[in-house]
Amino acid sequence: ILRKGAPFTFQFTLNCVQYTAECFSGSSLYNMYIKKLDRVDLQASPVVDEASPSSTSSFEMLDMDSVPAPYQEVQPHWFFCRRADENTSWLPFSREDSDKLENEEVVVAVDGDRYDVHVKERKRYAVYWDQAPTEVRRCTWFYKGDKDTRFMPYPEDFSQSLEAYEIAVTLDEWKRKLEFPTGETVILHNPKLIMQYQPLGLQDEWVSSPSEQTRPRTVKRGVENISVEIPDGEPEKVDHLVFMVHGIGPACDLRFRSIIQCVNDFRSASLSLLASHYKRAQQDGQVGRVEFLPVNWHSALHGDATGVDEDIQRITLPSISRLRHFTNDTLLDLFFYNSPTYCQTIVDTVSSEINRLHVLFKQRHPKFNGAVSVVGHSLGSLILFDLLTNQRTGSEAREGVPSREPGHLSCDTLEQTLTRLGLQQYLDTLQAENLDLESLALCHDSELKDLGIPLGPRKKILNYVRRRWMPEDCKTGAVRVTPGLQVPPQHPLTSDHDVNQPSGQAAQQSQFHRAQSVTSAVDYEYFDVGIGQVSIDYPQLAFHPQTFFAFGSPIGMFLTVRGLKHIDPNYTFPTCKSFYNIYHPYDPVAYRIEPMIVSEVDLEPMLIPHHKGRKRMHLELKDSLTRMSMDLKNNVLGSLRTAWQSFARLCTSCPFLQYLKFSVCQYIKSEGMQISVSAEQTEQAEIKVGMLNGGRRIDYVLQEKPIESFNEYLFAIQSHLCYWESEDTALLLLKEIYDKLGVAFEQPQQ
């Protein structure tokens, strides 16, 4: 504008410089202004008459785009650090959480109240599970190298130094070089091109240009200038709470991620599905969100908690060490669950962790009045099945059903117990280790031996404590479980019926019957201690679950090998009225439940709909081919049926034709064919699958992906671990939850 010779603007600029001199005398910004002004030849600046045509044309020819935009303060956004193995990534908080962090200075609840950020410490702490605190930053400047996939935020002090950008913008002076004590150099080429050059540890003397030192980093100012997806904030209202129990091992998927990470994925999928399939209900305020919380029991069984890892390691062979370590850390959990000692530890850990999370959630969400459900994956589903089977209703508790809460032996103290046994001389030894009756019941003989207690007293102590620890029916060598989950009464191995059995095929049937009787001789309802189902006490949950969802569950297999042949159709969990058995068709660990309730009918499982509202393409093609085949078959059978009816009418007047009809009928019967059956007889009657899920279907199967259908064996392991990222599974849970709340489901248009 000065060059265009506008006299008013020129004089105004001089006044601004004088004012700046008075206010910011000696500052770097003032010096920059003076330096800039020195370049202007004040005497040569023409004072042109405003009415002059040349001045008018000069003003009209001014390129307004060349005028730099005024400086604006950068808008900060808060990020948190996530470290996985050797990789470090910075992820943004939602805009809602970032605004809260910007405006508050103490502790801020973020990520759906699952984390607390201590703002002054710049640390993020998990609320519901054990996790190392993560770093938090207030971010304004970001960088990315050639090999980086995303921008990383600078430390806050470095970002503050980069705000010298204000001088370049204000003075429109670019190609400025900012040097830092660490040796880094940042060059402000222009508002859209800012580069950082890293120092080299060793460099030749002739290298002078920063561009010759190393590959530069691209630098961006403000989160709006980088390609990062800022998550939407989660609805504050929680409609339903779901606890998710993992299966064997510390990892839950093929990427060896923990239960926490897998549940995070499942929660994210559910939030996305709520936004797409319950959009109108969300807009009307009917729908908030479903909270999913992980239940981790593996760490309580392994490590220093029980010492079992050290014991197992002593007997582990040294060969193929990695495979044996995998076995010890994962597959042994199945054997631990069949051990009386460790099964009690697992069940107590799962129930206490669920109750702890439930109490903590209620404290942080005092307005929550929704229902609670549970999910179990693999072995976790069996743990929940046994736990729910042994829950008590309020009436049973009031009627004095014999039960023992965890940690209760008797009213006797340790001193009274040892006095009764005549072993009071060992009181000081046990008290020195802080042992009471409860912890004494968990001790092994070897542990008491290490304390210097002789064999005789050790046996007396362990025998007494464990007898008092077991429930009444265990003292007689039997375990009582819920009626309804039991095998039918067994026939005697020998009887008059067996003696009178004829030879031949009947004799083979008799041998099969005796073999089957021997296999089924152990009644599921009553087991000898140490055989079949283990003898433990099941603690009580602090709530009644609304629904139990089993993912990739071996429940059916475990019930079968325990001796259970049939589940009573009238049986239900005492405190949970809904049960879904969800599995992938190629899952090698999953088993069905419905055939144990309805054994007389070959009932296909319910196909879980695709979350996009259709079957997968290859399944639709298969169904189309099947329908074509059935239509062709029905047309052929229809023609044959008409011909057969005409043939049958002719047979009434001819003995030879009657004999021919009889022969044809025998052949049709031997080939398993049906021609003259009416359509009404072919319709399958409605099947009732008992009350385990309130009379509704129990077994639900996922649709395999097209690539999975090429090789079932190749995707078998993956199929057992697919549920955490399955949108179809998540949508089934949401439909069950919100159907009970009376919220309409919406299938979005594709």
Q: Confidence band (pLDDT; 50, 70, 90) for 96?
A: very high
CA distances, 226 to each of 142, 161, 178, 219, 686 (Å): 8, 20, 22, 10, 59
Q: Which domains are assigned to the chain?
A: 77-201+212-221 (no CATH), 235-391+538-627+688-749 (3.40.50), 417-467 (1.10.150.50)
User: Cα(278)–Cα(192) distance, rounded to whole angstroms?
Assistant: 42
Q: In which residue are the tokens 């040569």 written?
A: 44
SS3 category, 548? strand
- Dump pLDDT digits (tens) for 308-360: 778 888 888 888 888 888 777 777 778 888 887 788 889 999 999 999 999 99
C-alpha angle 676-680-683 in degrees, rounded to nearest 5: 110
SS3 category, 46? coil
Task: Report yes or no: 596 and 556 within 8 Å, Cβ to Cβ.
Answer: yes
The amino acid at 729: T
Instruction: Please check the confidence at residue 365 and state whether its pLDDT lies above 70.
Output: yes
Neighbours of 583 (CB within 10 A): 26
Strand bridging mode 176-179 / 185-190: antiparallel
Tokens of 227: 């390609």
* pLDDT averaged over every residue in the chain: 75
The average pLDDT across 650-672 equals 57
* Helical residues (DSSP H) of 365-454, grouped into ranges: 379-389, 394-398, 414-421, 427-432, 437-441, 445-450
Q: Phi and psi (nearest 5°) for 288? A: -105, -95
SS3 category, 118? strand
Tokens of 695: 């009379």
Strand bridging mode 134-139 / 123-126: antiparallel
Q: In which residue are the tokens 């078998």 written?
A: 716
The average pLDDT across 570-581 equals 95
pLDDT, residue 405, reads 41
Considering Cα of 585, then 586, then 591, then 596, what sign does the dihedral take?
Answer: positive
* Helical residues (DSSP H) of 593-708, grouped into ranges: 617-651, 655-670, 679-682
Instruction: Check residues 582 and 297 and name the one with the higher pLDDT.
Output: 582
- Dump pLDDT digits (tens) for 384-419: 999 999 998 865 554 444 444 433 334 467 887 888
Instruction: Please check the confidence at residue 171 and state whether its pLDDT lies above 50.
Output: yes
Annotated catalytic residues are: 378
- H/E element, 555: helix 555-561
SS3 category, 652? coil
Q: Confidence band (pLDDT; 50, 70, 90) for 563?
A: confident
Q: Phi and psi (nearest 5°) for 110? A: -130, 175
User: Cα(308)–Cα(302) distance, rounded to whole angstroms?
Assistant: 7
The highest-confidence range among 14-18, 71-75, 492-496, by mean pLDDT, is 71-75
Residues near 602 by Cβ (< 8 Å), separated by ≥ 6?
none
**pTM of the full structure:** 0.67
The average pLDDT across 289-316 equals 82
Tokens of 568: 């009573």
Strand bridging mode 77-84 / 289-295: unpaired
Q: Confidence band (pLDDT; 50, 70, 90) for 529?
A: very low
Find the radius of gyration of the CA atoms of the chain: 38
The highest-confidence range among 47-51, 634-638, 649-653, 732-736, by mean pLDDT, is 732-736
- Dump pLDDT digits (tens) for 197-256: 887 654 444 444 554 456 789 999 999 999 899 988 899 999 999 999 998 876 666 566
Q: Confidence band (pLDDT; 50, 70, 90) for 91?
A: very high
- Dump pLDDT digits (tens) for 453-464: 988 788 788 877
CA distances, 83 to each of 32, 152, 354 (Å): 43, 13, 27
Considering Cα of 202, then 208, then 211, then 212, what sign does the dihedral take?
Answer: negative
**Chain center to CA of 163:** 42
